[in-house]
Amino acid sequence: MSFRLLVAAAAAQARRRTYSQAARCSGGQTLVEKIAQRHAVDLAEGEVVRSGDFIGIRPHHIMTHDNTGAVIPKFSSIGARRLADARQPVFALDHDIQNTSAKNQAKYAGIEAFAKTHGSKFYPAGRGIAHQVLVEEGHAWPGTMVVGSDSHSNMYGGVGCLGTPVVRTDAAAIWATTQTWWQAPPVARVELRGELAPGVVGKDVIVALCALFANDEVLNHAVEFVGDGASRLPVEDRLAIANMTTEWGALAGLFAVDDVTLRWYDERAERGPHAIVNPDTVAKLRQDVAADPSRWTADSDAVYAKTLWLDLSSLTPHVAGPDSVKIAQPLGELEPRQVNINKAYLLSCVNSRQKDLREAADVVRGVQKARGVPAKVAPGVAWYVAAASSQVLADARASGDWQVLVDAGATPLPPGCGPCIGLGVGLLEDGEVGISATNRNYKGRMGSKAAHTYLSSPAVVAASALQGYICSPETAIAGASHPPSARPVLYGSEVHKAKPAAAVSTDSASAISGFPQSLSGRLIFLPADNLNTDGIYPGKYTYQDDISREQMRSIVMENYDPEFARLVRADDIVVAGSNFGTGSSREQAATAILAAGVRLVICASASETFKRNAVNNGLLVLESPVLVAWLRAAFPDAPLTAVTGLGAVADLVGGKLALTDAKGALAFETGLPKVGKAAQEIIVAGGLENWVRRRMAAES
């Protein structure tokens, strides 16, 4: 087959595999886009935020925790001396709170002093896990956008707040200017149908979703939960589901504000005097929702990247693992294997709220009632429990739930992250097996890499701790095997048919001074998926601070393909597969590509952390699964680094890409995300830190 026929066939295949790029310009807005619109800065008149847009954002709050200690020097190094808005940052210490060493105490004291100097909100060690504290204290407020320097900032979506993670450089930029950039992600609509059966909770929902849709269906998406099943879930279950959308691969997990949300805030407002969550503010929230309901939900004609659905009524308790959230099975199938455990954990930001502690305590009470003797942790099992916050702890003590757990033999830990992040006492040792109500079970996460971890609901953790192996509450209470009946889980996905898009003028699109309207160069194709940061910039060089730019150029992609450094030229446009830049957060993975003279990487999808580090250092990363699909069809036997012989012209402002063959004939064209003003300014400045310096100089 001739090259021209080959590219024509590949183009047809690419068109079949994706919906029209133009579809994103038609229809209404998703809820994610609406909230992002309200927090966007410097939009042109009439500009509407859509998935894929690079925008400047001014979030309602920026949260940092123990990593505040790493953000402070970044903030100082860019020349900042004061916070642009002292009300915007929230500091909450939660990760290493069991560490009483002089070094850690000095770090904590320094963070507290910084907050006091600048007049910002500070929550000390022991107040609780930052995400829980932000929800309790009203900083994560419905309808707002709150970012955090932590991957589980997604949790705020449980109360209708668009929460999403940022990296430390972003945090420093927000402190200094109130702003950073964000690329509005594609949005997946997840419809929850029906009603959960008794004993099935939000943790079972998200554990099942992570395993049922385990092929990156929502990677780097925002997820909006809708449907009659979503509206029946209590806020505590919504928080758990939103929290673990992180493990599902999403950048945000969002529930719309509804009567369930408002009733939950009514109850919070009655707890006593509070500056943010009080009868007046909650009444105002109710008025706002009633006055303009469309502000609080997606438009009926909103354009989604995909729709997934799950029938909640078909769901039974699920357990994830071992050692992966993408592997899960119904408890009814796992229990007969009698997987013995050494440790059990009821803690973390996903599952240690009052509802969770009560459900675990009720299992203990049920065992005691059935057997007529005090329930105790099984011999050889250690059970650790920590409340999500000091407020949750006080409530659990007042209800008696806390004492029930302690009397059963659970070891109490202070409100914080602890074993979930692999810090403090109670970590898994070689060969041990743990059952945990936390959100991650990767090898080595909670201790030894030679241990194994399963994830489940709090009630299953409690039952397993009492019985000595992974089992249901019914089994623990009966004292004999009584696993829940396993039945098929009903779920699926729906293909979206793109609506015909109205013609959209790009006349208003423009490049700021110094930003190139387009980039052109040879197209270099790296066909691999999951090309991680160690492949791009080997870990052995990460902490060698004296490596020059020229040395970086010679070692870039060394662990992926040693030939890359020899083949690549300045101004080449590199195209890669999906999940590009996954792995660690090392910034050198981006700066090494820049050192090779590459200014633009296009990939099927990119790790969000890598993308943020890239743009923050002046490297553009754009996503085009259509292009990658076409290249794979056109070059099925491509080597690790393929010099394709194609020329590429990327219209960065207009959002178009054209490829030409060796004779200059058009071989393929497709759309690209448009690079908006926010990202343009950062690229022109040479990175986010330089952008901050320019911004501060202009305002001084």
CA dihedral angle for residue 76, residue 78, residue 84, residue 87, rounded to 10 degrees: -50
Mean pLDDT in residue range 192-201: 97
Per-residue pLDDT, 587: 87
The model's pLDDT over 125-160, given as tens digits with 9 standing for 90+, comes to: 999 999 999 999 999 999 999 999 999 999 999 999
Q: With contact defined as beta carbons under 8 Å apart, do 433 and 422 qualify?
A: no
DSSP code, position 389: B
Q: How far apart are CA 446 and CA 175, in angstroms?
A: 32
The model's pLDDT over 425-471, given as tens digits with 9 standing for 90+, comes to: 999 999 999 999 999 998 899 999 999 999 999 999 999 999 999 99
Tokens, residue 607? 């790790």
Per-residue pLDDT, 479: 82
Q: How far apart are CA 658 and CA 666, in angstroms?
A: 7
Q: Where are the beta strands (DSSP E) in 535-680?
A: 573-576, 600-603, 620-623, 642-651, 656-660, 666-671
Chain position carrying tokens 């178009």: 656
Beta-bridge partner residues of 648? 521, 659
Q: How far apart are CA 659 and CA 255, in angstroms?
A: 41
Per-residue pLDDT, 326: 93
Beta-bridge partner residues of 524? 574, 643
Q: Among 27-41, 278-292, 474-488, which stretch is predicted with the lowest mean pLDDT?
A: 474-488
Checking if the pLDDT of 181 tops 80, the result is yes
Mean pLDDT in residue range 665-694: 94
Q: b/e map of 243-272 (b: 16 or more CB within 10 Å)?
A: bbbbbbbbbbbbbbbeebbbebbeebbeee
Q: With contact defined as beta carbons under 8 Å apart, do 354 and 395 qualify?
A: yes
The model's pLDDT over 309-323, given as tens digits with 9 standing for 90+, comes to: 999 999 999 999 999
Contacts of 162 (CB under 8 A, 6+ apart): 32, 35, 36, 144, 145, 146, 156, 222, 252, 254
Neighbouring CB atoms inside 10 A of 69's CB total 17
DSSP code, position 499: P
Q: With contact defined as beta carbons under 8 Å apart, do 137 and 156 qualify?
A: no
Tokens, residue 693? 């310096």
Per-residue pLDDT, 13: 45
Q: Which amino acid is at 609?
A: T
Checking if the pLDDT of 626 tops 80, the result is yes
Backbone dihedral region for residue 667 (phi beyond 0: left; psi -120 to 50: alpha; all else: beta): alpha
Q: How far apart are CA 73 and CA 70, in angstroms?
A: 6
- Distances 223 to 158, 217, 220, 501, 582 between C-alpha atoms, Å: 11, 11, 9, 24, 20
Checking if the pLDDT of 506 tops 50, the result is no
The model's pLDDT over 513-570, given as tens digits with 9 standing for 90+, comes to: 999 999 999 999 999 999 999 899 988 888 787 899 999 999 999 999 999 999 999 9
Phi, psi of 79 (to 5 degrees): 90, 10
Q: How far apart are CA 575 and CA 242, in angstroms?
A: 32
Per-residue pLDDT, 502: 32
Reported as a pLDDT band with limits 50, 70 and 90, residue 496 is low
What percentage of the chain reaches a pLDDT higher than 70? Answer: 94
Checking if the pLDDT of 45 tops 70, the result is yes
Reported as a pLDDT band with limits 50, 70 and 90, residue 495 is low
Checking if the pLDDT of 268 tops 60, the result is yes
The end-to-end CA distance of the chain, in Å, is: 64
Per-residue pLDDT, 544: 81
Q: What angle, rounded to 10 degrees, do the helices at 354-371 and 235-243 form?
A: 110
